Amino acid sequence: MSVIVSHGSAHSVFSGGTDNGDTVLSGGKMFVLAGGLAVATTVSSGGSLAISGGGTDSGTTLVDGTASTAKLAVEIISAAGTDLAAVISSGGLQEVFGYASGARVSGAQSFFNPVFGGTQIVEAGGTAIGTTIASGGLQVLGSFEGDQGTAISTTILSGGVQDIAQEGGAGTAVSTTIVGGIQVVGDGGGFFGAPGVGIAFKTTILSGGGQIVGDGDGGGVGSAINTTIVSSNQFVGFGGTGAAINTIVGSGSHQNVAFLGGKGR
């Protein structure tokens, strides 16, 4: 069954139901309820897709949104909801309170906009596994106070960013591989919250990538444990407070401690 959900309309996939190839247009809303399955759903600018606990969506595409919160292409995965292999492009926003696996996040960045290309935010109780963050993509683990998001086996490509703990949030990243992108562990506080507290375990930094542990004028707090720097840089205390434990620094790589008034050890 394939459905086009237009402005002002809503469509639900109930328990035992399967939809394939649905399209959610601006102003449309789609819900995948417990026991329901949606495959290859496309969510356009201003449309929304919600996955309830026990619901599953596979192969979602979030595309053509803008930085305006009213015009994002949005997917919300509730606790105990599941999303598999989403493609999150410019202006696409995926909020994960449940489980997301195999997402690819990319898009054009704009310094002046609140959404940097495609964005995956892993919120309180959420887990993202096997996400690939490509150029212009952003993954946030724990975006506000009380949030604690977890990401496992993330790959950060050139131009991609993984931000662990914003605005008082707490985030944990395990077994991240950085291939030209940036991992920020513990971001400084901003307009809405206290500094974030981030932890990264077993990060591998390959050529052209970088890891910032304890970032920002707001005093982010970060810890990096068992990091391997193959051919790149690690900054510990980059305006914030950072700790690096059991780091392996390869030939031609650098570990830099205490930058811009930060505290590192």
pLDDT tens-digit map of 121-180: 999 899 999 999 999 999 999 877 667 899 999 999 999 999 988 776 788 999 999 999
Closest by Cα among 214, 211, 212 to 241: 214
Between CA 79 and CA 55 the distance in angstroms is 10
| Cβ atoms within 10 Å of 172's Cβ, excluding its own | 22
The per-residue pLDDT for 218 is 59
Q: How many residues does the chain have?
A: 265
Between CA 155 and CA 178 the distance in angstroms is 6
Closest by Cα among 214, 232, 230, 212 to 222: 214
Between CA 195 and CA 183 the distance in angstroms is 16
CB neighbour list of residue 55: distance below 8 Å, 6 or more residues apart: 13, 32, 33, 34, 35, 36, 37, 38, 78, 81, 82
| Cβ atoms within 10 Å of 75's Cβ, excluding its own | 31
**Does pLDDT of 42 surpass 80?**
yes
Average pLDDT on 4-32 reads: 96
| Percent of the chain topping pLDDT 90 | 59
Q: What is the dihedral of CA 215, 219, 225, 230, to 10 degrees?
A: 20
Going 246 to 252 to 258 to 259, the CA torsion angle's sign is negative
Tokens of 260: 């811009």
- Mean pLDDT (the chain) is 87
Q: What is the pTM of this model?
A: 0.92
Residue 111: pLDDT band (50, 70, 90) is very low
**Does pLDDT of 98 surpass 60?**
yes
Summarised one tens digit per residue, pLDDT across range 236-261 is: 877 778 888 999 998 888 887 755 55
